Structure 1
Amino acid sequence: MSADTSTAHQPLYAPERDSTYVPTLGILLDCARDELAQYANANIYNAREMLSAAVSHHLRLRQLVAALDAEASRG
């Protein structure tokens, strides 16, 4: 028997719940570099490590895109 997980779904990104604060592009680039170094030695055969890296990179990428959009609207 399988469990119904459809009601347990929670999206990775939800604009109504996630912060609208966008750090500067310079700050985010430094954070992205640190994050890349943090996960550089992650074991590709370890599902938990890969999931952690993927989620972290996804969130950082969203922040980078938001910072680029904010910078473009100022220019």
Structure 2
Amino acid sequence: MSTDTPAYTPLYDPATDGRAYVPPLDQAIDRARKVLDEKATANIHDTDEMLRAAVGLEMRLRSLVAALDKEAGR
């Protein structure tokens, strides 16, 4: 097994990509629903659209989980 650094840059690095702002849970849910609606019509055969959808959904999912954790006191 190699200990070399990966040949790519990960979408999220917890060491450097901390969130300073966590939205209230109701806002996080609304934003997640909006992005789900926006990305639902993305063309699966269009690489650029799929990349934009993946990044947008990942960002909203992280925000939603952070809001849930904050509400739960974690």
TM-score bin (small chain): 0.7 to 0.9
Q: List gaps (5 residues or longer) in structure 1.
A: none
Count of aligned residue pairs for this structure pair: 68
Task: Please say which structure displays the higher CA radius of gyration.
Answer: 1
> Identity of aligned pairs, percent?
51
Q: How does 1:1-75 map to 2 (within 5 A)?
A: 6=7, 9-15=8-14, 17-18=16-17, 19-73=19-73
Q: Following TM superposition, where does structure 1 have runs of at least 4 consecutive aligned residues deviating by more than 6 angstroms? A: none
Letter in 1 for 2:56: S
Greater mean deviation of Cα atoms: 65-74 or 46-55: 65-74
The alpha carbon displacement at 1:13 in A equals 2.1
The one-letter code sitting in structure 2 at the alignment partner of 1:48 is D
TM-score, length of structure 1 as denominator length: 0.76
Q: What are structure 2's unaligned runs of at least 5 residues?
A: 1-5
2:3 alignment counterpart: none
How far apart are the structure 2 equivalents of 1:16 and 1:24?
24
